């Protein structure tokens, strides 16, 4: 009875020590492997990652995460793109670059022809692995299998191997690869641009997890259980108490250890692989916890009774200590739960935990704040109460996936308590608590990101429209030069050629021909000045914005049009050239629209200076237009707003049918140009 009690106590101690080591290994492994998630998120948030950016981003990660042997990026290159890809990289400074594979003798040779390649393009640390640039990951069977799984599922995949086929250590290396999709790809039409990958030294990760534990005589073995049956050993971490050169096989029989509770195993998921962590005690551990009481029992009844009483007190005390340790562990777990609750409540994303019936089991403070409900209100609700598309897709579909398809990220729309909605990005994963399957979701409010994307699309569309308008202006100028100035110069050329023939035969006719040619030259010069004035009025550089606007209005008054009133309170001072050009173009565009489209009998142009801002007002009392309708064809008004925005100002256009149009623009005064005054810069430009 005493021996059995001692073995049970030893088993309790060993169970506790083994579980602590397994938890430490699991936490450290997930912490190290998160570097692939970080790089994957870096690629997802960037349209183009260059080599220098990759090195700058991954350098601190490799210093922070011990056990990371290699980080890299391998684009997906089709066979027809191979030559162009190799030439582009060579132009980038790698003259000997090429897509390679390893032959039977371990040499790097040009890769054989296949449909697609995954050559290593970025790799860190660069100086150590730069010889691996161009190596095709798909040429190595284990890496190819992991890469194909990642491409098929769209999630991370792993293999126990070295990506280049080189493994100089007894322990194995863990290869983790994550697919990166092209911009614009969707779940229905995935387009893989390439893969980020990491190579991790399993033995280094295990050593980092266990280095803080006091050596007590426990061996740790790790096996790969991803395939059917017992997998191979991928890492052995013998206890530091073992003698140098001592065999790492357990001294007692493993079956006996398991029967006595002296062999603890745990299965964990590492990316998409199943790994078993096994803890086995040494004889030194068993001897340390073995009690010698039963051996000292004497034949005499009194001595036996005394010894039994003493041993019972001893074992009772040890049991009490174990119970105290269990109570302490329970208290620590409760404290950890409280810390976890504080951590979850301080997270920036909304946290949701729900069961298979889609009933909320737990939420954090951010979820309550974003939805406008209290925690008690949410815990009696279902997912369908807050998810707009629950019955038609998104969360309803993703919540019914199989376990191996998680985690999954998708977008949805949540409904607040007041009925308003907002877009969210949801990351969903599943796990089991007992026999019940639960779903864990993180929802991030992406309203700002959506607004930024819409603004970017609007800016791009405006840029395209402005470029089209610029091209139209160039085309009009070319037509005017061809139909006007070119024709006049051609006429002058013909007349001068005719003068040469008439000079001897008919001097009077030659003289008339010469006068006609001179007249055409004068007309050509006038046409040239008109074209130059349309592109950039010389009076703007010479006399300033007031004179330029007066000259512009004078040109409009020469044609049949509305009465134009010009009012200003600008002193005879000059502004910087960019500001004067902007004021002139805004007045020109506004005045052109008023004269061409408003059908107003009067137009008023007013320039003013208020503090450090220039004020521009152009008003007509014509037909007006509806500002709420689509203005995609009004390039001038869009250009006017964009010009004001680029200079840090604002533009307001007020109009309604039959009530005229009012354009009000405010521009800040610009500082003088460096290394010279504004007037000096004008003279240089002139």
Give the CATH number, domain containing residue 585: 3.30.565.10
264-270 and 233-237 as β-strands: parallel, antiparallel, unpaired?
unpaired
Is 75 in contact with 182 (CB distance < 8 Å)? no
Residue 568 maps to a domain: yes
My answer on whether 152 and 68 are in the same domain is: yes
List, for residues 649-686, the tens digit of each pLDDT value.
889 999 888 888 999 999 998 765 444 444 444 433 33
List, for residues 622-634, the tens digit of each pLDDT value.
888 877 775 555 5
List, for residues 448-493, the tens digit of each pLDDT value.
888 888 888 877 777 776 666 566 656 656 655 765 667 768 777 7
Residues 584, 328: Cα–Cα separation, whole Å: 80
pLDDT at 106 over 60: yes
Residue 82 maps to a domain: yes
My answer on whether 380 and 366 are in the same domain is: yes
DSSP letter (8 states) at residue 632: T
Residue with the two structure tokens 């064809």: 633
Residues 407, 215: Cα–Cα separation, whole Å: 37
User: Which range is most confident: 297-306, 350-359, 599-608?
Assistant: 599-608
569-574 mean pLDDT: 74
**Which residue, 476, 505, 535, sits at the end of a domain?**
535
pLDDT at 71 over 90: yes
Residue 602 maps to a domain: yes
The count of domains in the chain is 5
Residue 112 maps to a domain: yes
pLDDT at 120: 92
pLDDT at 586 over 60: yes
Residues 681, 577: Cα–Cα separation, whole Å: 8
pLDDT at 305: 83
Is 22 in contact with 266 (CB distance < 8 Å)? yes
Report DSSP letters for 292-329, one per residue.
-TGGG--SSHHHHHHHHHHHHHHHHHHHHHHHHHHHHH
My answer on whether 148 and 55 are in the same domain is: yes
Between 239-243, 379-383, 646-650, the lowest mean confidence (pLDDT) is in 239-243
Strand locations in 506-649 (E) = 563-568, 602-610, 613-620
Residue 265 maps to a domain: no
pLDDT at 118 over 80: yes
Burial of 605 (0-12, 13-18, 19+ CB in 10 A): buried
Residues 58, 334: Cα–Cα separation, whole Å: 37
Helices (H), 155-290: 202-210, 254-259, 283-289
Residues 450, 425: Cα–Cα separation, whole Å: 11
563-568 and 602-610 as β-strands: parallel, antiparallel, unpaired?
parallel
Query: Dihedrals φ, ψ of 559, to 5°?
Result: -105, 160
Burial of 311 (0-12, 13-18, 19+ CB in 10 A): buried
Give the whole-number percent of the chain exceeding pLDDT 90: 12
Selected residue with higher pLDDT from 576 and 243 = 576
Residues 636, 462: Cα–Cα separation, whole Å: 11
Helices (H), 154-269: 202-210, 254-259
My answer on whether 201 and 174 are in the same domain is: yes
Report residue 250 as tokens: 């357990």
Confidence of residue 616 (pLDDT cuts 50, 70, 90): very high
Residues 398, 402: Cα–Cα separation, whole Å: 9
Residue 248 maps to a domain: no
Is 546 in contact with 568 (CB distance < 8 Å)? yes
Burial of 661 (0-12, 13-18, 19+ CB in 10 A): buried
pLDDT at 224 over 80: yes
pLDDT at 356 over 90: no
List, for residues 246-277, the tens digit of each pLDDT value.
655 554 555 555 545 578 888 888 888 888 89
My answer on whether 419 and 491 are in the same domain is: no
My answer on whether 369 and 467 are in the same domain is: no
Selected residue with higher pLDDT from 647 and 25 = 25
Residue 235 maps to a domain: no
My answer on whether 597 and 467 are in the same domain is: no
Confidence of residue 562 (pLDDT cuts 50, 70, 90): confident
579-591 mean pLDDT: 86
Going from the C-alpha of 299 to that of each of 1, 233, 295, 302, the distances in angstroms are 17, 50, 11, 9
pLDDT at 392: 47
Residue 161 maps to a domain: yes
Average pLDDT of every residue of the chain = 80
Name residue 135's beta-bridge partners: 100
My answer on whether 29 and 98 are in the same domain is: yes
pLDDT at 119 over 90: yes
pLDDT at 177 over 90: yes
**Which residue, 499, 515, 535, sits at the end of a domain?**
535
Residues 6 or more apart whose CB falls under 8 angstroms from that of 631 comprise 637, 638
pLDDT at 617: 93
My answer on whether 431 and 517 are in the same domain is: no
Nearest to 172 by CA among 260, 91, 233, 94: 233
613-620 and 602-610 as β-strands: parallel, antiparallel, unpaired?
antiparallel
545-557 and 577-593 helices cross at what angle (nearest 10)? 20
pLDDT at 85: 92
Confidence of residue 447 (pLDDT cuts 50, 70, 90): confident
My answer on whether 551 and 526 are in the same domain is: no
Confidence of residue 306 (pLDDT cuts 50, 70, 90): confident
Between 219-233, 319-333, 467-481, the lowest mean confidence (pLDDT) is in 467-481
Residues 469, 642: Cα–Cα separation, whole Å: 14
297-317 mean pLDDT: 78
Selected residue with higher pLDDT from 678 and 528 = 528
My answer on whether 113 and 147 are in the same domain is: yes
Between 2-11, 554-563, 669-678, the lowest mean confidence (pLDDT) is in 669-678
90-105 mean pLDDT: 88
Q: What is the CATH number of the domain that holds 363?
A: 3.30.450.20
**Which residue, 415, 445, 475, sits at the end of a domain?**
445
515-537 mean pLDDT: 71
Helix, strand counts (H, E) of the chain:
20, 23
Query: Dihedrals φ, ψ of 108, to 5°?
Result: -85, 120
Confidence of residue 293 (pLDDT cuts 50, 70, 90): low
pLDDT at 673: 45
Report residue 195 as tokens: 């893969």
pLDDT at 284: 80
Is 66 in contact with 28 (CB distance < 8 Å)? no
Residues 6 or more apart whose CB falls under 8 angstroms from that of 544 comprise 572, 574, 575, 580
My answer on whether 338 and 422 are in the same domain is: no
39-47 mean pLDDT: 85
Alpha-carbon dihedral angle through residues 515, 516, 521, 524, given to the nearest 10 degrees: 150
Claim: this prediction has a pTM higher than 0.75: no
Is 315 in contact with 5 (CB distance < 8 Å)? yes
Between 65-79, 131-145, 335-349, 512-526, the lowest mean confidence (pLDDT) is in 335-349
The range of the structural domain enclosing residue 46 comes to 19-208
Is 198 in a helix, a strand, or coil?
strand
pLDDT at 395: 57
């Amino acid at each position: 009875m005493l021996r059995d009690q001692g073995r049970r106590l030893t088993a309790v101690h060993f169970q506790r020590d083994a579980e602590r080591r397994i938890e430490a290994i699991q936490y450290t492994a997930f912490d190290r492997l998160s570097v692939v998630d970080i790089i994957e998120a870096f690629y997802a948030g960037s349209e183009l990652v260059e080599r220098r950016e990759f090195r700058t981003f991954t350098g601190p990660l490799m210093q922070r995460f011990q056990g990371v042997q290699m980080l890299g990026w391998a684009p997906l290159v089709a066979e027809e793109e191979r030559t162009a890809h190799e030439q582009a990289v060579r132009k980038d400074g790698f003259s000997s670059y090429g897509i390679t594979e390893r032959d039977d003798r371990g040499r790097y040779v040009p890769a054989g022809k296949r449909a697609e390649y995954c050559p290593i393009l970025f790799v860190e640390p660069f100086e150590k692995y730069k010889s691996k640039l161009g190596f095709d990951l798909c040429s190595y069977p284990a890496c190819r299998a992991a890469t194909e799984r990642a491409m098929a599922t769209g999630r991370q995949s792993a293999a126990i191997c070295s990506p280049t086929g080189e493994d100089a250590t007894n322990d194995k290396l863990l290869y983790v690869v994550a697919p990166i999709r092209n911009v614009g790809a969707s779940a229905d039409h995935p387009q893989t641009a390439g893969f980020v990958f990491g190579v991790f030294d399993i033995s280094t990760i295990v050593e980092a997890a266990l280095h803080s534990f006091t050596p007590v005589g426990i061996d740790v073995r790790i096996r790969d259980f991803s395939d059917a049956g017992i997998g191979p050993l991928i890492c052995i971490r013998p206890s530091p108490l073992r003698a140098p050169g001592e065999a790492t096989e357990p001294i007692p029989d493993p079956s006996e250890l398991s029967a006595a509770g002296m062999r603890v195993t745990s299965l964990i998921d590492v990316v998409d692989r199943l790994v078993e962590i096994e803890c086995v005690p040494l004889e030194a551990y068993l001897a340390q916890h073995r009690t010698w009481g039963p051996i000292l029992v004497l034949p005499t009844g009194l001595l036996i009774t005394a010894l039994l009483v003493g041993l019972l007190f001893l074992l009772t005390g040890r049991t009490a200590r174990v119970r105290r340790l269990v109570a302490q562990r329970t208290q620590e777990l409760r404290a950890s739960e409280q810390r976890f609750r504080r951590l979850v409540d301080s997270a920036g994303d909304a946290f949701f935990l729900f069961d298979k019936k889609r009933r909320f089991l737990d939420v954090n403070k951010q979820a309550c704040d974003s939805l406008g409900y209290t925690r008690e209100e949410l815990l009696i609700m279902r997912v369908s109460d807050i998810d707009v598309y629950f019955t038609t897709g998104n969360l309803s579909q993703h919540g019914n996936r199989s376990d191996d398809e998680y985690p999954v990220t998708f977008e949805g729309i949540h409904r607040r308590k007041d009925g308003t909605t907002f877009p969210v990005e949801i990351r969903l994963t599943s796990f089991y608590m007992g026999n019940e399957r639960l779903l864990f979701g993180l929802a991030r409010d992406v309203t700002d990101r959506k607004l930024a994307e819409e603004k970017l699309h609007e800016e791009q569309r405006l840029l395209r429209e402005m470029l089209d308008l610029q091209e139209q202006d160039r085309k009009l100028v070319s037509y005017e030069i061809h139909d006007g100035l070119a024709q006049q110069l051609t006429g002058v050329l013909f007349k001068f050629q005719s003068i040469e023939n008439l000079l001897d035969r008919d001097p009077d006719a030659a003289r008339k021909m010469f006068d006609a040619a001179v007249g055409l030259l004068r007309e050509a010069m006038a046409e040239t000045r008109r074209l130059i004035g349309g592109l950039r009025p010389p009076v703007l550089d010479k006399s300033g914005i007031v004179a330029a606007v007066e000259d512009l209005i004078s040109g409009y008054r020469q044609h049949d049009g509305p009465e134009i009133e010009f009012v200003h309170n600008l002193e005879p001072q000059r502004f910087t050239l960019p500001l004067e050009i902007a004021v002139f173009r805004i007045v020109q565009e506004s005045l052109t629209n008023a004269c061409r489209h408003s059908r107003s009998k009067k137009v008023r142009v007013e320039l003013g200076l208020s503090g450090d801002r220039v004020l521009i007002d152009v008003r007509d009392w014509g037909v007006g237009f509806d500002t709420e309708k689509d203005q995609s064809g009004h390039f001038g008004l869009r250009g006017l707003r964009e010009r004001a925005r680029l200079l840090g100002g604002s533009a307001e256009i007020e109009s309604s049918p039959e009530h005229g149009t009012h354009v009000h623009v405010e521009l800040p005064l610009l500082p003088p140009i460096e290394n010279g005054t504004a007037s000096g810069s004008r003279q240089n430009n002139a």
